Amino acid sequence: MLIGSMNFPGRSVAKEIHRIHEAGFDFVDLTLEPPAAWTPDGREVARLLGDLGLTAVGHTAWYLPIASSFPELRQQARDLFRRALDTFADANVTLVNVHPDQRVPLHSVQQVRKMNGEAIANLVGDAAERGVTVMVENLDRLFSSVEDLQPIFEAVPKARFHLDVGHANLNLGLRGKNRTPDLVAAFGDRLAHVHVSDNRGGAEDLHLPLGAGTVDWRSAIRTLKEAGYAGTVTLEVFSREPEHLKTSRRLWLEWWSAA
């Protein structure tokens, strides 16, 4: 298993790659978005990653309006996504995520699912032209459940699945449970990458250190192991204190080994 960390888009990509390497991680979850991490020189990124012995997976901005009601915005979002794909391809990053677009007002849930399926089908085609595979990430409200995501995967058979365990713990209600087991049961054969961070099960995606919220990590790990997953895992822990990230890495590896 490879354990990675995401670059902070408020700092230069090169500085963040060095930080992640110095912290002992195996790969960079390379997010390309403003203000400081939007389309760096992909060939320079590839050279730096190679020099440091790191690999990378790709992450795109969660707020791109890929399924907007406005055709002009949909086209602009697709163009921006393609610019990111060009950079990823130059950086030798071959696995990139996309976030479904939840913000499509005055449409039924079925219409929003359909519009996202069409948009992501286009992006998957754009990525394939560059030798890149797209994976779809589960979100916190719409596109959080098997029912929401199934239409996308039916419309886009070549799309892979990107599991975010923290997102699967959000907006559960009083009797809800983490959606990880259901998502893995439905899409485990497509599972290509995993994000982990903690939260308290409400509406806020807090990106807490592991163990600081309500996620049952031992259960989540059992689910992944039973599905035969042993791929890349990103600690999407956002904290000013580096020790929180280090502790999360140690705990994840301990829990994984003990499961």
Q: Residue 173 has what pLDDT?
A: 78
Q: Residue 134 has what pLDDT?
A: 98
Note the pLDDT tens digit of each residue in 202-238: 999 999 999 999 999 999 999 999 999 999 999 999 9
Domains by residue range for the chain, with CATH: 2-258 (3.20.20.150)
Q: 30 forms bridges with which residues in the sheet?
A: 58
Give start and end residues of each alpha helix (H) in the chain. 13-22, 42-52, 71-90, 109-128, 146-155, 180-187, 217-226, 242-258
**pLDDT higher than 90, residue 175:** no
Q: Residue 174 has what pLDDT?
A: 67
Rounded average pLDDT over 98-110: 95
Burial of 157 by CB count in 10 Å (0-12 exposed, 13-18 middle, 19+ buried)? exposed
**pLDDT higher than 90, residue 54:** yes
The one-character DSSP state at 166 is T
Q: Residue 176 has what pLDDT?
A: 84
